[in-house]
Amino acid sequence: MKQVVTVKRRALAANEERAERLRSRFAASNTLVVNLISSPGSGKTSLLEATVQALDSKLRCAVIEGDVATENDANRIRALGVPAHQILTSGACHLDARLVENGLAEGGFPEVDILFIENVGNLICPTSYDLGEDFKVVVLSVTEGDDKPVKYPAIFSRAEVAVISKSDLLAYVPFDLEAVKEQITSLNPSGEILVLSSLKGDGVDDWIGLLHARLEDKRRA
């Protein structure tokens, strides 16, 4: 067990070094980097589609997609005219800084204002890996149940923003919205919570406003 822990620590240390190089690179270009984390099917890609459409041509953006297999999600983003590069992990449950670094080189993205990284669907593995992002966003759909923050506290305590998605289904599923908000706030008192529906558009303006504010903060830093 001790050997396994040592190997993991070395892997995380190596990842931190790469992540810092990425962070310096993104800082030099004033690129806001958002790391989206959730379980499969929570609506990360749908959120990105709604985001791209709401931003229109106001800001330049690109997307890195992480999945075990298929380019389905990247193709959905490309269909909207946004550069997207798919990283296939071949079974790995998370992206790491090396994969992102390689993905940027392979993707050949133009200079952008916002880079979205859609991590592999998982609430555990991606939590520990810094990708050089400005902040993590955890996405929780109302269809997943209202106990996820207490079952997976690490990501909800580390993500600066929690998005509760598929709010248009609140009337049809047993989901205690106020209880979930309380759970998230107890884990991360300084975090922000947004409730939205990518399908209906409810709350998307608040999300877009947050992105604009974060980008302006970065440019002023």
Q: Where are the domains positioned within the chain?
A: 2-220
Q: So what's the pLDDT on residue 220? A: 95
Q: Which of 75, 86, 76, 158 is nearest to 119 (CA)?
A: 86
Model confidence band, residue 1 (pLDDT cutoffs 50, 70, 90): low
Q: What is the pLDDT of residues 25-75, one digit of tens each?
A: 999 999 999 999 999 999 999 999 999 999 978 799 999 999 999 999 999
Task: Specify which residues 67 forms β-bridges with.
Answer: 88
CA dihedral (200, 205, 210, 216) in degrees, to 10, reads 140
Q: What is the pLDDT of residues 102-147, one digit of tens each?
A: 999 999 999 999 999 999 999 999 999 999 999 999 999 999 999 9
Model confidence band, residue 10 (pLDDT cutoffs 50, 70, 90): confident
Using DSSP's 3-state secondary structure scheme, residue 173 falls into coil
Average pLDDT for 151-163? 98
Q: What is the pLDDT of residues 76-90, one digit of tens each?
A: 999 999 999 999 999
pTM of the model: 0.95
Q: So what's the pLDDT on residue 2? A: 60
Which structure tokens are listed for 97? 């800084």
With a CB cutoff of 8 Å and minimum separation 6, the contacts of 80 are: 49, 52, 53
In words, the CATH class of domain 2-220 is alpha beta
Q: So what's the pLDDT on residue 6? A: 67
Give the separation between CA 157 and CA 179, rounded to whole angstroms: 16
